[in-house]
Each structure stands twice: as structure tokens, then as C-alpha cells.
Chains A and B, each alone.
Chain A
């Protein structure tokens, strides 16, 4: 791997001495051309952390480094304007008294560049708004304002871009398309980015890696597949989607679970909590199973047909399980079924890791 462009090392931000810190010893790195998403519920400290990187908040302790340049440490604090980090705000923060073009030109004024206007127009072209250069930001739609904000950030060609919930003010239809466009734009320009969001679908589809944050701490960092399929903690498992939790007894690579003996994703022993995503379970009619385990037989309680797939709620030994199947299996409420696991169970840590290091 190449040298990281951004290294965040155990940064902590205290607002009040007595209160728990808003950001608690957070560490991660961002590599060249990588998009990292910081995912967490509102109030988890993700925006504070982003503002520490941007330079608008002073870290109480810890270090922020970009390439070989220390931006923040116990005795340094490079001010925001000298960091050369691009920032896209949730509500875009366009300058209402300037035209679209002047908004984009704003960031180029202090750079020693030729043909600033040409560059600004090129940035607008990149986001498909070249014909809106003379408009006032008030007269643009939310999606267009968002793209002006992006052009304004991209025009000075920063190496790193921070995005603070940039898609949350767009309506659902527009959001997905814009997300894809922005991702393509960042990738085509080889830019590194940190995205902050509370929307797990957005984080999983937009980022190369996802860091899941909770109460000021990062609980897990990994590729979207890793954090989704191999959640390390109960919080990560539940925050990224619906899941079935099984209190099990593990002995090495296997565990006895309420729905039978299962292979595990890693070795464990004693009482552990095992997570199985609904799509990692399937259903079978009792007649089709050669040797039905009584622990796995249950009854369909509810069926939600969603076109390409079906979600069942299945009652089994006084517990309920969610099962996500393709639409080829069709059971009706009341049908007797057998629950069949398709993947190994994921062992969850009983308590969150003390700190997470990439």
C-alpha cells in the first residue's frame, strides 16, 4: 500500500471537562485515492471529528497528519485556511451574494494561477453546470446547489476532500443518482475523500472503506463487505441492517445455537452472541429435508413480498427470526418450515474494542 494521505492518530475532543468526550481517541488513515466513510448515528461525534480534521475545532489531544505535515498535535494547530483541505457542507454554504461562477472563483483568488476563470468554468463543466455560471445560488435547485458546492471545493484541486452529510438535503430520488455521479467524479480525479454520514446505505455504496462510529469511538473499520458481513460488535451488526442474534455456546470453530450447530467465522469459546443476516438464512418445506432438526422447525408468522425478494418472520422455539429469500420460495403465513443457515455465524464481541487501529 502507498503512504497514507491522512493519518488521524488518537484524537480526542473534550468540550467540557466533566462530560464524556465528543471524540474519544479516534484513529484511522486514508490512502491515496481512497474514499472513507465515517458512519454513525447523530450525536456520535462524527461531525466534530471532521471539523477537527478541517481545522475548525482544536483537538484536545492526538495528532492529525497529512502526508508528512503535522496539522494538529499537542503543540501545533494549523489554521483551517492553511490546511488545503476541501470541505463540502451539509447545507452547501454557498455565498448568497456571489454568482455561481464567483462562488467557484472564490477559492482560486489567492492561488498563483493563470486563467482562474477558465479553471472555474472547467470545474463547473465537470459538474455539468457550465450554463449556470451567471445565476444566483438562490435560483438553483438543491441538487444544483450541491454541485456548485462541489465545483467550488474541487476548483483549487485539494488533495483531500471532506464531505459532511452532503447528500442528506436531497430528496431520495435525486440522492442515489448524485451519489453515483460524485463518486465517479472523485475517482476520475484520483481524489481522496472522507465522507460523514448516518445513512448506512450511503456509506456502503459510496465508500471504499467504512468506519463505524459510536459515542465518540470507532468500533470497526473495514470494506463495506467486511463491516456488513463480519460486524465485530453488536452495535455495528445492528446499525448496518437487520440481523438475527443468537445466544450460543461456542467451542472452537463451531457453536450450538438455538437453530442448531453452526460453523463460526472465527474461533471462540463459551457463551457468545452470534449474528446472522436475514439473507444468510433460507427456508425449506419440512418434507424436503432429509433429517429435520427439531430445533430448526418453525412456523411462518408474516410474509412481506417486495418484488425481487421476500422477507419472512418465522416463529421457532419461542423466538422469531427474519429470513430473506429470493422470490422463488413462496410460503404463506401458517406454513411449517425449516430454517437453514447458508453462511457461518458471526461472533460478536461482548464489549466494544478499547480502541481501534487500522
Chain B
């Protein structure tokens, strides 16, 4: 029956719109073929050499380091995110709406900037020692990476938990209470199980982030697969071992994705009844209000105040010796010249992918959409190395060109562009396009004259998302940028890597501005979509 299925699909849906498949094919080829070449490269050694590369203690050590860091950060983010989410949704803590911001703001501080700020804050010459005379050991290694990543990634978990907590039906808890369960039992047996999907979704984001992270572990000198891959690549021309490390990194990512899918299976909880869900009565904190504020304050201090204050402190040191305006301007231009075309390319590629998946939902189109997300989930260093191997063997003229960097950004961040275009696609119902066709337009003309204008807001947001993400991207830029190409992110990293904190400060501030714009955009969008769905569901 499968050939029949494909035949019908082709005849009924795709034959008139085959050109939609071109960008989709570009994405599939752009992501999958380089990964294939990585595999080929990894096996370009004789058997004994392969054995020596794959079966060695160092790999186990790296695996242990990576897993320990991932596990530690997961635990750390749960400890930060869950109390914060619970306090801001289910209690009467005064000002909880404003405190919600604390759970979001760290998103505006990319990992390597957070690591840089923590390095600049601690130690005998750090900001904390200089200002309040508290000599802390300089953070580094496992502890440093753990602190920086926990503080930087807990918002992913926080946002998921917050949504889930707000969506819980209080009637379920009240029924449990009415059946005689004490409150803490209700919490354990009713509330926590319902939060499992949110823990898994948020945990997946955190886990993938940690596994793929390069900026933090490299600055903190903690050897995970990513960092080892970078060292191997930078230190020698032994690309085979680098390819193996990339494959191990990839395998770990795939394992995490599978684990998450497995754990999530059958975990979709819905309210079964009809009627409007209402919000639970907030828990009165009473005497616990002060400790609650203490916790929230500590989280805010560590995740926002310390890093921002540190960067401002070092910025003032930089102002004293003169801000390198020329360097900053040229770095901004380099970042811009790669990010802007990448954003346009990603949005252009995302339009047909979103169109196919919304208008012709089928196994095929949802599979295509998943390929686009594959580029996003692939650890950036592994993806960049795959592109290097691929270009060196197939397109040597493209190696170390701006064009390759742009394509890499676009393929990696395309997933961010699909979402907004996808949701604006729902504002342009298919029968509007059919109306245009019944008035004499070809499918292409109908799309351009009717659907495209309606997609414009979504496309604009997509371009902005990809642009801002590419501006702060580090590992892909690291491996793929042309000779002498120094983006803002690269400047932050290299100065921080050499403990030149004052020199890094202007660049770090610029990055934070872009990230803050990104987060702001995200929040504005979230708000407007939730308002829209709200208005749509109102009678």
C-alpha cells in the first residue's frame, strides 16, 4: 500500500507544486549529506588505528565528563526553576508577576558571556573581591561549567513548568483533597505527575544545550566531547579523531532525543471534562514570605545582577583605557554581514517547509519538517566539522568562505524561522488561496498575491529571530569563519579565553544587547499569540 500512498500524494498534492520541494531538498541535502561525509571521514583509517581511536580511556573520560555535567546541570536547573515557577504561579507572593521576569532574563546572557562574567567576577582580582572584598576562588572546571550552565539554562525549564502549572486543573487537586489526601500528598501524587511532560520538555532543551555547549566548557577548561573536539581540531590536523569525537557527540544527542521520546510516550495529560479551567486559589505563604523572597533574590542576584554588574564593571575599566571603537565597528560589520543574509536565507527556506506541513499535513511533510529541526538539534561543533569535511572533499572552493558560513547559519537556525511562519500560515486559510484560484490565478500567483502578504508579519519575526541568533552564535562561527573574520562573539570568547576581561567587555555588552532584543521579541510574540488564541476561543 505504501507505493499507492506515495503515488496518490504526488498526484493529488505535489505534482502542481513540485517547486516547493526544492528548498526542502536543499535543507535535507545540506544537513544529511555533510553528516554522511563525517561518517565516511571517520572510517578513513585502517582497522588497528580505528580500534585505537575508538577504544581508549580518554573517550570514556569524556563521556563521563559530559554526562556528569549534563546530569549536574539538570539537577541545578530543577532546583532553580521549579521553586521559582511554583512561587510565581501558585502562591500569593506579592509582585510575583514582575518576578516572573527573573526566570526569563538569563536567556539574554549567552553561555559564553555568562562564563566570561563569572570568570571576571570571581578570583582574587575579580569584581567580587575588588568591590566587597570577598575573595572567592576563581570558578573553573566542573564547578565553573556547572554554575554557568545552570544559571544560563534554567529559564528553558522555568518556562515549561510555568505553562504547565498554570494549565493544571485545580478541580483535580481539590478532588484529591476531598478524598482525604493531605496537601503534601496531593502535591506528590497529583501535581508532580502532571508536571512530568513539562519536566521532560524543559529537561530536553537543557540537556541538548549542555551536550552541544562549547562556549562555557572551553572558557572553564572542562573537557567534554565538544571541548575535546575543538582542542583536537585546533591542535592538530588529525581530522579522523575529530570526526570520531563529533560522531560520539552526535550519538549522545540522538540517545538523549530517543530517551526523551520514550519517557514522554503516553504522557499526554489533558483535562477530560469540559467547562472552563480556572486558576487554583493561591497558597498563602504567611511566614514563609521572607524566605521565599530570599530564594528569589538569590536566584536573581546570581543569574542576572552578578553577570551584568561584572560586565559593567569591566566596561568601566575598558572606558578608562579607551573603548576600541574601530574594532567594535568592524566586528559588528563582520557579524552583520554573515547574520543578515543567513536570516533571509533561513526564512526563504522555512516558507515552503511551513507551507507544506500546514497545508498538506502527512507523514512525508512532517518528516521534512523534522529534518529542519535536525539541523537545530545537531551539536553545532559537530555540524560545523561535518560541513568542513564535506566542503574539503566535494566543494574545496567553498571552504572558509563567507558563503559557507551563511549557509551553515541558515541550516542550523532554520527551525527558529519555521515557528512564526507556521503560525501566521493559520491566519491565511487555504480557501482564501482557493478563492484566488477560482478567480483565475495559478497556484503560484495565488500564493504570491494572497498568502504571502498575509505571511509578512510571520516572515519578519522569523528573519529577526535568525538574525539575532546568528549574531550571538559562537561554535559554528569558530570553525567556519573565513580567515581574519572576527565577529563580536569571537571577540568576547578570545579575550575572555586570555583573561583580558576589560577588552572583552564592550563586545559582551553588544552581544547582551542583541540577546535582550531576541528575548524581548520572544516575549512580545508569546503575549500576542496567547492573546490571539484567547480571543479566538472566546465565544
Q: Which residues of A contact B (CB under 8 A)?
A: 17, 54-58, 79-87, 89, 91, 93-97, 106-107, 109-111, 149, 152-153, 156
- The contact of B440 among A93, A94, A149, A156, by CB within 8 Å, is A156
- In the complex, what residue of chain A is closest to B434 when comparing beta carbons? A56
- Please tell me which one of the listed residues A82, A85, A91, A95 contacts residue B436 in the complex, with CB atoms under 8 A apart: A95
**B432 in contact with A17 (CB, 8 Å):** no
Q: What is the minimal beta-carbon distance from B368 to any residue of chain A, in angstroms?
A: 21
B487 CB to nearest chain A CB (Å): 38
Nearest opposing residue in chain A for B436, CB measure: A106
CB within 8 Å for A85 and B453 given contacts A58-B12, A93-B431, A95-B432: no
Main secondary structure of the interface of B (DSSP, over half): helix
Given contacts A17-B4, A106-B449, A152-B435, 18 further A-B contacts (CB under 8 A): A17-B1, A56-B434, A79-B16, A79-B442, A81-B437, A81-B439, A81-B442, A84-B440, A85-B438, A87-B438, A91-B429, A94-B435, A96-B432, A97-B453, A109-B440, A149-B435, A153-B439, A156-B440
Decide: B437 and A80 in contact? CB cutoff 8 A: yes
Q: How long is the Cα–Cα vector from A281 to B90 in the complex, in angstroms?
A: 67
* A17 to B429 Cα, complex, angstroms: 28
A56 and chain B: residue at smallest CB distance: B434
By Cβ-Cβ distance, the 9 closest A-B pairs, closest first, are A107-B439, A87-B438, A93-B435, A93-B431, A80-B437, A81-B437, A97-B453, A93-B432, A89-B431
Does residue B205 face the partner (Cβ distance < 8 Å to A)?
no
Question: B191 → chain A, closest Cβ, in Å?
Answer: 41
Contact yes or no, A91 B438, CB < 8 A: no
Q: Contact check, A107 vs B431: say whether CB atoms are below 8 A apart.
A: no
Interface residues on B, range: 20 to 34
Give the chain A neighbours of B454 by CB distance below 8 A. 96-97
Residues of B within 8 A of A81 (CB): 437-443, 445-446
State the main secondary structure of chain A at its contact with B. loop
Q: Give the CA-CA distance A87 to B432 in the complex, in Å.
A: 11
A94 to B445, CA, bound (A): 17
Question: 1/0 per position for B133-168, CB-CB distance to A under 8 A?
Answer: 000000000000000000000000000000000000
Please report the C-alpha to C-alpha distance between residue A224 and residue B442 in the assembled complex, in whole angstroms: 38
> Nearest CB to that of B12 among chain A residues?
A58
Residue of B nearest to A54 (CB): B438
Does the CB pair B434–A87 fall under 8 Å? Answer: yes
Docked Cα-Cα span, A57 to B434, in Å, equals 11
Collect the chain A residues with CB atoms within 8 Å of residue B427's CB.
Answer: 96
Within 8 A of A (CB), among B444-490: 445-446, 449-450, 453-454
Q: How far is the CB of A28 from chain B (nearest CB, A)?
A: 21
* CB closest residue in chain A, given B11: A58
A107 is contacted by which of B11, B440, B442, B443 (Cβ under 8 Å)?
A: B440
B14 to chain A, nearest CB (A): 12
Q: Which residues of A contact B441 (CB under 8 A)?
A: 81, 110
Docked Cα-Cα span, A179 to B453, in Å, equals: 33
Complex alpha-carbon distance, A58 and B432, angstroms:
19
Q: Please measure, in the bound complex, the distance between the C-alpha atom of A322 and the C-alpha atom of B427, giving whole angstroms.
A: 49
Residues of B within 8 A of A91 (CB): 429, 431
Q: Which residues of B contact A79 (CB under 8 A)?
A: 16, 437, 442-443
Residues from chain A with a CB closer than 8 A to the CB of B429 are: 91, 93
Residues of chain A within 8 A of B431, CB atoms compared: 89, 91, 93
Q: Using Cβ atoms and an 8 Å threshold, which residues of chain A touch B440?
A: 81-82, 84, 107, 109-111, 156
**Residue contact A80 to B432, C-beta cutoff 8 Å:** no
Q: Could you tell me the distance in whole angstroms from the C-beta of A215 to the nearest C-beta in chain B?
A: 22
> Who on chain A is nearest to B452 by CB?
A97
Residues on B with C-beta less than 8 A from A85 are 438
Q: When the two chains form their complex, are residues B434 and A93 in contact, meaning their CB atoms are under 8 A apart?
A: yes
